[in-house]
Amino acid sequence: MIPLLDLRAQYAALKPELDAAVLDVLASGAYILGEPVERFEKAFAAYCGVEHAIAVNSGTSALHLAFLAANIGPGDEVITTPFTFVATVSAIIYAGATPVFVDVEPDSFAIDPAKVEAAITPRTKAIVPVHLYGQMADMDALQSIAVNHGLVIIEDACQAHGAAYHGHRAGSMGLSAAFSFYPGKNLGACGEGGIVVTNSEEQMRTMRSLRDWGQAERYNHVLKGFNYRMDAIQGAVLDVKLRYLEDWTEARRAVAAQYRQLLSEVESLRLPAELPGRRHVYHVFAVRTRDREGLRRHLASEGVHTGLHYPIPVHLQKAHADLGYGEGDFPVTETLAREVLSLPIFPEMTSRQIQTVADAIKQDAYVL
C-alpha cells in the first residue's frame, strides 16, 4: 500500500532528536508553555519573516484568537470561501461574527478577488483568504480591496507553511495569520497544535493574554480568555521539526514535479496549477477528474491510498444551513468539491512509489 502520507517514516528519520526533546520535557516537570514553546515561537516567527508568534493548542484556536484580537465580534461580517476545512468558518462563528462566502478561482482554489467587492457591506470587517493545499491566494488584489474598504486581512495559512507570494512568506501579509500543526500538516506536531503570527505588538499582547485565561499576570484576569495554551512537548517536537521544514518542502516540490512529468499527457486528469510568483508547498497534490470515484476505487485496488479535501463545501454542510446558502450558489467550489482527488505526497516518498501511482492512473481503463 502506498499511503497518502507516512508519518512513521518521518519519525524514524528524526527519532534520536525527537526522543531526546520529549524526554527533556518530561524530565523538566514543566509541561505547559515554558522554554521549549518560547524557543519555537521565536524560530517560527523568524521563519515567517514576522515579529511575533503565539503558540496555541490548535489551528482553530489560532484563527479564533486572530479574530478576537482584531476586535471582530457580533454584528460583523467576515468574507471567506466555502471551499475550506470547516474550522475556518467555525472560528468566525466562535467570535460571534457572520461568515460571508465568496467563490474560489478554478486554478488556485483560493478566494476569487474579482468577486470579493460584491460581497462587501457596511458590516464587513475582514477578509480571510485560505491558502488552500499549500498555495497562497492573490494577496496583491486582496490587499488593494482591503485598503480601499478599510478592512483587515487575516490569513488562514493552516495548510501553507513555507508558501510564498512574490517573495513574501505565508503569514507575513495580513494583520495576522493562523497555522495548524495537526500531525498531517507539512509541519506537524505529535498531537494538536497551532500558532498565530503578526507584526503588531498590540495584537500579540492581546492574543498572549487571551490564550491563557485572559491573564495580564498570574491570577489577574483582564480579558475573558481561554485555555488555548500549547503544551511543552509539542513545542519541543515542533522546534526540532522546523529545522527540517525547508528540506521537506523541497522534497514535496520534487514529488510534485515528478507527478507533472509522468501525468502531463493524461488528458482526463487536470493537474494542480502553480501560479507565477507563488511558491506552492504541496500540502496536498489535488488533481481533478470527472470520474473521481472510479479512479479512486481503481487506485485503491492497486494499493494506492488517496484522499478527498473536501467533498462537501461548507455552504452545503448541514451544520451551517442557517447561513442561508444553497446548491448552485458557488459553482466553481461545487465543481471542485466533486472533482478533486488528493494523490499521495510526503517528503520521504520514493521515485518508485511515484512511478507506481502514475502507472496505475495511466492504465487504459482510466485514460479517456
- The residues carrying an active-site annotation are 185
182 in helix, strand or coil?
A: coil
Q: In what order do the strands lie in the sheet with 168-169?
A: 168-169, 164-165, 278-279
Residues in the chain: 368
Cell of 364: 487504459
Q: Which SS3 state, helix, strand or coil, does residue 271 take?
A: coil
Q: Which amino acid is at 267?
A: E
Q: Are strands 98-101 and 124-127 parallel, antiparallel or unpaired?
A: unpaired
Distance between CA atoms of 73 and 127, rounded to whole angstroms?
Answer: 14
Instruction: Please report, for residues 102, 260, 335, the alpha-carbon distance to residue 332 in angstroms, rounded to integers and kept in the order given.
Output: 10, 23, 5
Question: How many angstroms separate the first and last alpha carbons of the chain?
Answer: 25
The residues with which 335 forms a beta bridge, in sequence order, are none
Collapsing DSSP to helix, strand or coil, 134 comes out as helix
Using DSSP's 3-state secondary structure scheme, residue 304 falls into: strand
176 pairs with which residues across the strands? 154, 198
> What is the DSSP secondary-structure string of 198-231?
ES-HHHHHHHHHHHBTTEEETTEE-S---B-BPB
Strand positions, DSSP E, 28-183 = 52-56, 77-80, 98-101, 124-127, 152-156, 164-165, 168-169, 176-180
The whole-angstrom separation of Cα 345 and Cα 155 is: 24
Beta strands in the chain (DSSP E): 52-56, 77-80, 98-101, 124-127, 152-156, 164-165, 168-169, 176-180, 194-198, 215-217, 220-221, 278-279, 285-288, 340-343
The DSSP symbol for 110 reads: S
Grid cell in block for residue 268: 482526463
Collapsed DSSP state (helix, strand, coil) of residue 43: helix
Bridge partners (DSSP) of residue 227 are 212
